[in-house]
Amino acid sequence: MALLEEQAEHKEGMFRAITDQSTEGITLADTAGNYTFVNPAFCSMMGYSEPELLQMSVFDMKAPEQDHTSFDRTKSSREGLSVEVLLQRKDGSVFVSEVIGQNVIINGSAQVLGTVRDISDYVKTEGKIRTLSQAVEQSPVSIMILSVAGVIKYVNRAFERITGYKLAEVEHENIDVLIPDGLLEDFQGGLARSMEKGEIWEGEMLIRKKAGESFWEYAHFSPVRDEYNKIIHYLGVKEDISLRKEHEEKILHQAHFDVLTNLPNRFLSLDRLSHMLSEAVRNNESAALLFIDLDDFKKVNDSLGHEMGDKLLIEAAARLKSEVREGDTVGRLGGDEFIVLLGGLQNPTNAQLTAENLLGRFRDAFRVDGRELMMTATVGIAVYPGDGDSASELLRSADAAMYHAKELGRNTYSFFTEDMNKQVTRRLSLEEQIHGALDRGEFEVIYQPQVDVGSSQIIGVEALLRWHNPALGNVPPDEFIPVAEQTGLIVSIGQFVLAEALRNAAYWQEHFSREFRMAVNFSPRQFRDPNLVAFIKRTVDEYGLSGKTLELEITEGVLMSGQRYIYDIFEALKGLGVCISMDDFGTGYSSLSYLRNYSFDLLKIDRSFISDITVDPADRELIKAAVAMAHSLHLKVVAEGVETEAQLEYLKELRCDYAQGYLFGKPMAVDDLTQLLMLNKSM
């Protein structure tokens, strides 16, 4: 065989191998479109055999619907024509193909070389992608695609609408541009780190809008991988949660701030106090706690109404706040109690200066609802180190200092001192010991006679409580009654006193006089006991007494709240025939309106007036007026603390009805009183 022939045969073999094994259809057609060559891939693509196809033309392959489809995908180039056409197989099925036709010269004649590819799968995928990208584009949730390095590749319309940034403005920018200043570090520790590690990240993030303000989003970022499982992008889906955040913040705010004044509430104030202390310890500095209590605020509230009281508190809070430095806390502990925290003090005397300034802020009248009101405050100061190492100790010290300042006459301030320290310690042990004292039988009721000024006959007694405690000794009632009040123990202790007193009253009535009367002291807290009246009635009945044997001694403190239930209790007690006396008259506000509005039977003039009755003409005039006024309201008058005959003479002159005091007998134990009554009887 000639060399040329051999070469031609070799080429033919190569051509065959290529066309036979190609996955693309390869065809040759003459200028009329009749196939002159088809490869096996084309045959299997169309479902015809080679001889069949060689009898057919390119036009036989076109699907009928092709004529209605525009050739918009036709691309013409120098190499030829690339078209997407619908072809129909022998079995009738239709598919999308990409056909590239090229004019070639083969063996001197013009032919068209066609390369045919089945692109149905590709077209399907492309359709899907188009639908998907439309969904992404139009999704109401904000969507973004980032590069692995965090560069923004795409944002959808929701993102544009929410943030105010157009895609073109953020494309190619790092996502960092969306993070508000100061939060970048957090962000880099969170999302950015997850991205580095190829992990999913989800959480809340603060995003800065183009206009500058920030808002909260809940974001989910997940990696997008290619077919080799390599991360190529990050897809972020984000939801605006500003409203929820706002709501959450509101709730959080309410838990920490006082609704009325918007100052830190008790909880947050004490938390800040603890913080201030740890700072002071760490930096070896001083810090001060100012405890502020408005003077007579309760009275304002009671007389002018709570609405007015609220307005005053708001104004007072504003004044306090205006007086301290930016970083210092002013908090409301509750009611009319505020605290001011002064951290990082160079010198404790700075606290004094602040206290003076705070009091100064109250010098101007408060204008509320067109009224002008004067209101003052009292301040207690506790300093770290010295007055306490913990928040609660410091608070207790400041509170004690405040009480001391109140005693000094209000509208002033006082530092905590060693003396107060002793008082605080004493108070704590009282609180500790008074629990269980009743069960341990440490209380005793003793009795002080009350006499008729005209006849000097004993007409009854006042029951007075004594506490004998092994650790504290004999504690005077002026000291332990307030503690019993505050702990609420006064209710059960008071029931003990009443039962004891009435039991003995029954005995003395039986042995001495049916008219014998028993006066028992009641404190404000006992009036809040819903069972008070029922208990009194039961006890009176139990000892076979009549209601008028009992005389309830109350102070103005009971009436101060002015609440309806006090009237109701008064009425119920009147119904039982019980007498009610106003104790310690002349010491408090001695409001005459109380005497008019409540049906009292007796007025007890405080012993501080009686003691000076023989020396101070003013006191004498005062008592004279009080007696006259009481009588005009049909009240009997009892003089307390009568110690001398001279005092008794004056009281007779002033037409006082009854008297009580050391002159007739000190408070004494049951048996001693029985003895005294026997003597009195035989007189």
Q: What is the contact surface with ligand C2E in residues (CB under 6 A)?
A: 448, 464-465, 476-478, 481, 494, 497, 521-523, 553, 583-584, 607, 640-641, 643, 660-662, 667
Select the binding partner of residue 500 from Mg ion, ligand C2E, none (C-beta < 5 to 8 A, by kind). none
Q: Alpha-carbon distance 287 to 347, whole Å?
A: 9
DSSP 3-state of 444? strand
What string marks each residue from 160 to 199 as x (binds Mg ion by CB under 5 A) or -? ----------------------------------------
State in angstroms the smallest separation of the CB of 552 from ligand C2E. Answer: 10
Query: In this chain, which stretch among 104-112, 148-156, 259-267, 581-589 interacts with Mg ion, using CB under 5 A?
Result: 581-589
Query: In this chain, which stretch among 187-195, 320-328, 541-549, 634-642 interacts with Mg ion, using CB under 5 A?
Result: 634-642
Q: Which amino acid is at 119?
A: I
The residue within the footprint of Mg ion, chosen from 399, 485, 551, 553 (CB under 5 A), is 553
State in angstroms the smallest separation of the CB of 518 from Mg ion. Answer: 12
State in angstroms the smallest separation of the CB of 642 from Mg ion. Answer: 12
- When the beta carbons of 312 and 519 are compared against ligand C2E, the nearer one is 519
Q: Which residues of 357-369 are buried (b: 16+ CB within 10 A; e: fewer)?
A: ebbeebeeebebe
For residue 77, the cross-strand partners are 80
Query: In this chain, which stretch among 341-349, 361-369, 547-555, 592-600 interacts with Mg ion, using CB under 5 A?
Result: 547-555
Q: 379 and 290 in contact (C-beta within 8 Å)?
A: yes
- When the beta carbons of 413 and 585 are compared against Mg ion, the nearer one is 585
Select the binding partner of residue 448 from ligand C2E, Mg ion, none (C-beta < 5 to 8 A, by kind). ligand C2E
The residue within the footprint of Mg ion, chosen from 88, 509, 521, 611 (CB under 5 A), is 521
Hey, CA dihedral for 18, 24, 25, 26, is it positive or negative?
negative
Question: What's the Cα-to-Cα distance from 496 to each of 317, 462, 520, 683, rounded to whole Å?
Answer: 44, 15, 11, 33
- When the beta carbons of 265 and 660 are compared against Mg ion, the nearer one is 660
State in angstroms the smallest separation of the CB of 352 from ligand C2E. Answer: 36
Q: 442 and 467 in contact (C-beta within 8 Å)?
A: yes
- When the beta carbons of 19 and 495 are compared against Mg ion, the nearer one is 495
Cα 467 to chain centroid distance, Å, stands at: 42
- When the beta carbons of 70 and 474 are compared against ligand C2E, the nearer one is 474
| E strand or H helix that includes residue 96 | strand 94-106
- When the beta carbons of 155 and 497 are compared against ligand C2E, the nearer one is 497
Q: How many CB atoms lie within 10 A of CB 250?
A: 10
Q: 665 and 449 in contact (C-beta within 8 Å)?
A: yes
584 phi/psi in degrees, rounded to 5: 55, 35
Q: Tell which residue, 139, 154, 136, 150, has the closest CA to residue 201.
A: 150
Select the binding partner of residue 391 from ligand C2E, Mg ion, none (C-beta < 5 to 8 A, by kind). none
The residue within the footprint of Mg ion, chosen from 217, 336, 584, 657 (CB under 5 A), is 584
Peptide bond into 449 cis (omega under 30): no
Structure tokens at 337: 């109690």
- When the beta carbons of 336 and 553 are compared against Mg ion, the nearer one is 553
State in angstroms the smallest separation of the CB of 463 from Mg ion. Answer: 9
- When the beta carbons of 478 and 671 are compared against ligand C2E, the nearer one is 478
State in angstroms the smallest separation of the CB of 273 from ligand C2E. Answer: 34
Q: Alpha-carbon distance 63 to 89, whole Å?
A: 8
- When the beta carbons of 301 and 660 are compared against ligand C2E, the nearer one is 660
Select the binding partner of residue 53 from Mg ion, ligand C2E, none (C-beta < 5 to 8 A, by kind). none
State in angstroms the smallest separation of the CB of 584 from ligand C2E. Answer: 5
3-state SS, 629-646, equals HHHHCCCEEEECCCCCHH
Cα 389 to chain centroid distance, Å, stands at: 26
Q: Alpha-carbon distance 596 to 598, whole Å?
A: 6
Q: Alpha-carbon distance 305 to 303, whole Å?
A: 6
Select the binding partner of residue 643 from ligand C2E, Mg ion, none (C-beta < 5 to 8 A, by kind). ligand C2E
State in angstroms the smallest separation of the CB of 660 from Mg ion. Answer: 9
- When the beta carbons of 264 and 661 are compared against Mg ion, the nearer one is 661
State in angstroms the smallest separation of the CB of 665 from ligand C2E. Answer: 9
State in angstroms the smallest separation of the CB of 553 from Mg ion. Answer: 4
Q: 39 and 26 in contact (C-beta within 8 Å)?
A: yes
What are the DSSP E strand ranges found in 241-283?
A: none
Residue whose structure tokens are 């001060």: 288
Q: Tell which residue, 247, 248, 243, 223, has the closest CA to residue 233.
A: 223
Q: Would you count residue 583 as binding Mg ion (CB under 5 A)?
A: yes
- When the beta carbons of 234 and 522 are compared against ligand C2E, the nearer one is 522
Select the binding partner of residue 522 from Mg ion, ligand C2E, none (C-beta < 5 to 8 A, by kind). ligand C2E
Q: Which residues bind Mg ion (CB under 5 A)?
A: 521, 553, 583-584, 640
